[in-house]
Structure 1
Amino acid sequence: MAGHEVAPQTGPRSLLAQLDTQPRVRAFLQRAVESGRASHAYLFVGAPGAGKLDAAWALAQALICPHGGCGACEACVRVARHTHSDVHYLAPESATGYLIGQTRDLIDEVALAPIRAAHKVYILDRADQLRANSANSLLKTLEEPPEDVTFILLGTSSDTILPTIVSRCQCVPFRMVSPVEAAAAVCRSTGLPQERCRMAVAVAGSPTRAIEFLKSAERQEARRAMLRAIDSLAHADEADVLSAAKGLIKAVKAPLADVERTQKAVLERDADYLSRGALKQLEERNKREITARERSGIMEVLASARSLLRDALIALEHAPGGVVNTDAQETVGRLVAATGTAGVLAALDAVAEAEQAVRHNVTPQLAFEVMLLDIRKALSCPS
């Protein structure tokens, strides 16, 4: 099956060891951990797809692991699966950025002792959306956090983040990683063909997440569901479009079942020795994790749509770069035969608008419905 095609590793590898496309960052973070001189706050900056979030989870694993990130112990496995109770991932909860309530809850939670490990790590994605009102309440905590706490903030550039935040963090720049280089890293890790790895990087966004994508039959099926939905639009009526959008949501949620089962098992196992407050904290964290994973899955299938339409545009314009979705060349051919450059560009705009709608907390199914209807209209443009 597609979900079992990744070649087995010769032994467990830490997440840091897997940062093949950022060797300087990997070496820098490894030295910091091994010397015991890791900063209390980092700011990872670089272009989307550079692997900042991968590196954040890697550093978290190395800090949480009692052996500095062995990759094999229970703590390392939990961090790699994003289920460790002492590693917290946060993203903006509103269209305008982080809410004041988010940062206040964060500050209150920072003061609590770790649940399982001797350390706690907070990953703050899109730190450029920490506005002045929410950032000010976080500044003192960033400057003087408890000794067992590390903050890792992620952004595209230090110029887009409040200077008062930048000054309290150790800045770690990430270099741009080309899709070809990222795909090569996935090939080395999985042993899979180059074209399959290119597709995975285009969908998942980074080498580490591409490897995870290739291990998941459900995530690959969600991608195929999106490709089928677009392929069928030429002959679809509105009822068909609404049904396709509903099916896409179901496909996105399919991989979450295993996560929810794992969360439930951990709660049941730990219920006897955790306090009521710690259990409530863990339950809230589990809910946030499911929400974040669902959002990630939605953005992943939208990336699948964008990648397919990009292939159609390349075919129409005879542009360099080559088709990424080699397993969907017949679909690409039908799109090219049905429309022209203007139609594909309009369809790509519809995908971009859907991505923006999801970021602004529009109901995902509604975002899918509007996008598919707009793509159907765009692709009806004569070639």
Structure 2
Amino acid sequence: MSEPAVLDAVAGQPRVRDFFSRALQAGRLGQAYLLVGPAGAGQEEAARAVAQAVVCRHGGCGACDDCRRAADGSHPDVRWDRPGSPAGYLVDQVRDVIAEAPLAPVGGRGKAFVLERADRLGPSAANALLKTLEEPPSHVTFLLTAPSVDAVLPTIASRCQVVPFAPPDRARVLQALMAETGATKGQAAWALAVTEDAASARSFLSEEGAARRAACDAMADALLSLGRASSWEAVQSAQGVASLLAAKETSSRPLPDVGALVDDARVAKKVKPGRASALKRVWANVVEGEPADPASCDELAQMVREAREAGRFSEEDADSALEALASSSRAGAEADYLSAGAAKEREKAATRQQKAQERSSIMEAVACAEALLRDLLALAAGSPGPLVSGDRADALRPVAAQLARSGDAPGALLEALDVCARARAQIRSNVTPRVALEALLLSVKEALWRSSSR
């Protein structure tokens, strides 16, 4: 068996790549791994690649439907969890994993469970997971990520094979990010500065990250204009940043008219009238983002592929329709295995995850402020090094010069950075993000422009 193609995603970690390649080719993949290393080292990419290999009937070809769905998060046999609250994982999240693990795979060869930031599994959540992690069903592989072994509870770490990741080479990460996203060097450096890792930076630069980028742009504009803004204007700026992140993002590309494909198939007598009506109801559910019957979704997906091959749908329209069908199909497949109570709990878990993602985006706005303040500190100290917010250099220099004229610029900037650290702690402790951002901008204004704050 040749090396799984999906492992190309971890080419920057040759030892990790060789380790998993040998295990997969020999058919001896373990059942629990702890992937440890600094942010951006590639743990998430490795977890995704191994999850693809777990469900792929070809061992990780990277090209089949199982691999594609595992990569885009729509495969029913790949579950990806993140801490459900600022304090860490919720016990209910872990109970969902425990309940789902024994179920047979829906479509793949096996099942993969990815738990990001396992260092945020508290004692209660960890204790709930221990037995399943120690004796997982034979078809299940657990992939946990963390910054270090020491950060994870010993009871969790001892039940996993530890896979260490070398620190990423920033220049290589930057080049890869530019190649993958088409971003400029300045845009890529900025994305890495305000996100936790390369995977988050890619998402930040993608079409789906538009609201996050807009919020960070608004945060940067607000911070750089604090010297001439009133306290009320600073509060309004914070509210604007929070509103950008709280708003639900809508797709910039409307879904194509798949219902018309069903009508054509009925007219051509390829589909019976009753079946056509059923398929159109399924498509209506897909458009609304609701769970749908997997078999019907597959039937509609085949129509979409044929429409693409015939030139009736563009690649972009076909991809958006197929992605929507895959998402609804996955939700429908999961619903088949869940009782009404369990489905309700899953919905609650999804809501918690959405809130956690919103808080993560708010943290990016705080990181944006920190990045700008560090660049201002470098300019005030006369450092010749590159700025992480290079595309904003022209806007930063006059602000740095104004701060230098006003007095102790380094001291004021260090005080402002402490304000950002406090804002992070407040958001983690469940303070309303909007309130935390208001306090941040007001306190940074006070630290940097005391004379104009009074």
Q: Normalising by structure 1, what TM-score?
A: 0.83
Q: In structure 2, what is the equivalent of residue 341 of structure 1?
A: 410
Q: In structure 2, what is the equivalent of residue 330 of structure 1?
A: 394
| Cα distance, 1:342–1:308 mapped onto 2, change above 3 Å | same
Q: In structure 2, what is the equivalent of residue 351 of structure 1?
A: 420
Q: In structure 2, what is the equivalent of residue 8 of structure 1?
A: none
Q: Does 2:231 match 1:238?
A: yes
Shifted more, 324-333 versus 96-105: the winner is: 96-105
Report deviation, 1:115. 4.5
Amino acid at match of 1:225: A
Is the 8 Å Cα contact of residues 182 and 206 (structure 1) preserved in structure 2? no
Is the 8 Å Cα contact of residues 84 and 353 (structure 2) preserved in structure 1? no
Is the 8 Å Cα contact of residues 238 and 438 (structure 2) preserved in structure 1? yes
Distance in structure 1 (CA, Å) of the matches to 2:384 and 2:16:
31
Report deviation, 1:336. 0.8
| Cα distance, 1:225–1:40 mapped onto 2, change above 3 Å | same
Shifted more, 114-123 versus 149-158: the winner is: 114-123
What is the root-mean-square deviation in Å for CA atoms of aligned residues? 3.1
Report deviation, 1:96. 5.0
Distance in structure 2 (CA, Å) of the matches to 1:183 and 1:221:
21
Distance in structure 1 (CA, Å) of the matches to 2:17 and 2:248:
30
Q: In structure 1, what is the equivalent of residue 220 of structure 2?
A: 227
Report deviation, 1:381. 4.8
Q: 1:369 aligns with which of 417, 438, 445?
A: 438
Q: In structure 2, what is the equivalent of residue 277 of structure 1?
A: 338
| Cα distance, 1:116–1:229 mapped onto 2, change above 3 Å | farther
Q: Does 2:289 match 1:265?
A: yes
Amino acid at match of 2:224: D
Distance in structure 2 (CA, Å) of the matches to 1:263 and 1:102:
28
Is the 8 Å Cα contact of residues 338 and 380 (structure 1) preserved in structure 2? no
Q: In structure 1, what is the equivalent of residue 300 of structure 2?
A: none
| Cα distance, 1:375–1:134 mapped onto 2, change above 3 Å | same
Q: Does 2:36 match 1:45?
A: yes
Q: 1:141 aligns with which of 132, 141, 144?
A: 132
Q: In structure 1, what is the equivalent of residue 366 of structure 2?
A: 302
Q: 2:198 aligns with which of 207, 217, 238?
A: 207
1:286-335 deviation line (CA, Å, top 9, x unaligned): 43443343233222222222221121111111235311212211331233
Distance in structure 2 (CA, Å) of the matches to 1:341 and 1:125:
37
Distance in structure 2 (CA, Å) of the matches to 1:246 and 1:139:
42
Q: Does 2:267 match 1:198?
A: no
Q: In structure 2, what is the equivalent of residue 22 of structure 1?
A: 13
Equivalent residues, number = 369
Report deviation, 1:343. 1.7
Q: Normalising by structure 2, what TM-score?
A: 0.71
Is the 8 Å Cα contact of residues 86 and 116 (structure 1) preserved in structure 2? yes
1:114-135 deviation line (CA, Å, top 9, x unaligned): 4454433222233223344432
Distance in structure 2 (CA, Å) of the matches to 1:169 and 1:325:
39
Distance in structure 2 (CA, Å) of the matches to 1:66 and 1:358:
43
Distance in structure 1 (CA, Å) of the matches to 2:411 and 2:153:
40
Amino acid at match of 2:52: Q
Report deviation, 1:145. 0.6
| Cα distance, 1:312–1:91 mapped onto 2, change above 3 Å | same
SS at match of 1:205: coil
Is the 8 Å Cα contact of residues 307 and 324 (structure 1) preserved in structure 2? yes
1:196-228 deviation line (CA, Å, top 9, x unaligned): 322222223333332332223443323212211
Q: 2:117 aligns with which of 122, 126, 133?
A: 126
1:85-121 deviation line (CA, Å, top 9, x unaligned): 4333334445554444443343223233444544332
Is the 8 Å Cα contact of residues 179 and 198 (structure 1) preserved in structure 2? no
Q: Does 2:89 match 1:89?
A: no
Q: In structure 2, what is the equivalent of residue 249 of structure 1?
A: 242
Shifted more, 185-194 versus 365-374: the winner is: 185-194
Report deviation, 1:142. 0.7
Report deviation, 1:144. 0.7
Q: 1:172 aligns with which of 160, 163, 182?
A: 163
| Cα distance, 1:112–1:126 mapped onto 2, change above 3 Å | same
Q: In structure 2, what is the equivalent of residue 7 of structure 1?
A: none
Q: 2:103 aligns with which of 90, 112, 125?
A: 112
Is the 8 Å Cα contact of residues 56 and 64 (structure 2) preserved in structure 1? yes
1:321-369 deviation line (CA, Å, top 9, x unaligned): 3112122113312331332111211222222222222222222212211
Q: Does 2:74 match 1:65?
A: no
| Cα distance, 1:202–1:58 mapped onto 2, change above 3 Å | farther
| Cα distance, 1:366–1:77 mapped onto 2, change above 3 Å | farther
Distance in structure 1 (CA, Å) of the matches to 2:69 and 2:241:
28
Shifted more, 37-46 versus 302-311: the winner is: 302-311
Larger radius of gyration: 2
Is the 8 Å Cα contact of residues 306 and 348 (structure 1) preserved in structure 2? yes
Distance in structure 2 (CA, Å) of the matches to 1:83 and 1:305:
34
Report deviation, 1:41. 0.5
Report deviation, 1:44. 1.0
SS at match of 1:362: coil
| Cα distance, 1:229–1:352 mapped onto 2, change above 3 Å | same
